Structure 1
Amino acid sequence: ALHCAELLNKWAAASPEYSKDLVMRAAEYSVDAAESLRLLYEAAPGDEGVKFKYSSALYWMGLNFATLCRLGGAPDGKWTTQQAYDLAHTSLAECEALRAGATEEVKAEVIFAQGVLSFCKAEAVNSGFLRSTKMEKALLVDRKFKQALRLFEQANALWASAYGDKHLETVKAITMIGILQHRLAGAQASLEWCRKELRIREELQGEMHPRTQQARRTYTMLLDEKLQAERRDGSHPGSNPANPAGASAAAAAATAGGAEG
């Protein structure tokens, strides 16, 4: 069940658009894995191997339910958007506690997943799947995007220190930093990050890998968006155009939530 939860997440993340069915199945497998491994962990709390597997199940549960939250909950009504968010939040909090004594690069996984959850909550609020009750919608979305960016920058620093830039863990954070820069500041701000992601994926995964092709599509769309903004606004190449809701936003959203680099 744990491997299925991971593989389905990666499959969905490599698709141009997330399939709710794939994400739903990944979420179900992650619940099955977490429940089974919880029993093993409770029976042998001193077994570090079981403890790590259980924390991994919680990690995938957090990622899968965060993505389900962003997509508006389970298509069959099994989990609402709010329930998906709550399950993701609780799972990642427990995962973080279990990995308190882990190495920095392992802790970075949880930080990355928490960034995904913040991003997905912002997307869910922006889409109307979740309601903002304590502040204006736009303010909450902006706050959650900025929180996600800080978390991805932190994960990126930890992974880059442990592995260097050219690593499948590090490139996950680079991908998400590019997406958040686009959300918060527009195409110009995200271009360098997206270019960096594309170069790394071409080197590590090859030009034909689905994630490389996805990165190339996103980069091309951002270039087009930037040029259109410059023509429309009479901007210079160094300017920072507004962040329109264009095709690049949809393409970028398709990469978020997937943990595979």
Structure 2
Amino acid sequence: MDSVGQLLRHWRHRRRLSQLDLAIAADVSARHVSLVETGKSNPSADMILRLADQLDVPLRERNRLLLAAGFAPRYAERPLDGEALPAVRDAIARVLRAHEPYPALVIDRRWNIVMSNRAIDAFLTGVAPDLLRPPINMVRLGLDPRGLAPHLVNLAEVRSLLRTRIARQLATTADPELTAIYEELLAPDAEEVIHPIESEVVIPMIFRFGGRELRLFSTTTTFGTPMDITLDEVAIESYYPADAESAAYFTTSGADARADA
């Protein structure tokens, strides 16, 4: 098991900070940071969390730092569908319902779908049953040929966007299971050619169902200053129509037509 000093040095290197950079940000001496990293000084729990905060260490990994130093974990991890987070779950459910008729869903740190609104259901018609067994992974659902990939007109751009987002996430979290998903589905192919849509303010996902194109862009919402690991690791993905025709799809009989396609 790595010591707390080794773990802090690991995160400092990931953030590409010198000991002096971290010391200035945390308002401590560079010598103290050095002593902590080399194990010559035993930091308090508050000092560990102060350094972790400046290093933007995820809550799950902050618990690991505390345990390595002999302290109790500070952050709980309670399931979103459990009895401990009913107010949060209800608030998320209201957000999802309020976004209808447009699609919205909640994903965890590994891009598994945790909650969704009814507008998502129509997109799952025709998807291979094994891709819909919980936990449904959003990346696999979107890129698998038996999922939504055949309907994505700009599949290369969507894959590139996902690659960028998840690579950025991995730089922050270093999650091994997400790394496996990235390597399986998003690792760059030497022969792959990406043609970014430079004229767009945002790059939409362009679906084609039954000869009709549907253009959507997304926004991501996270919890501010969470103190629970589950809340620290979930995000709400909300999808909006990128043009009037796509908006009409959701506000008229378009969703029904999709289900019949």
Q: Which has the larger radius of gyration?
A: 2
- Common fold: TM-score over 0.5: no
Indicate the structure with greater helix content.
1
TM superposition score normalised by structure 2 = 0.26
Indicate the structure with greater strand content.
2
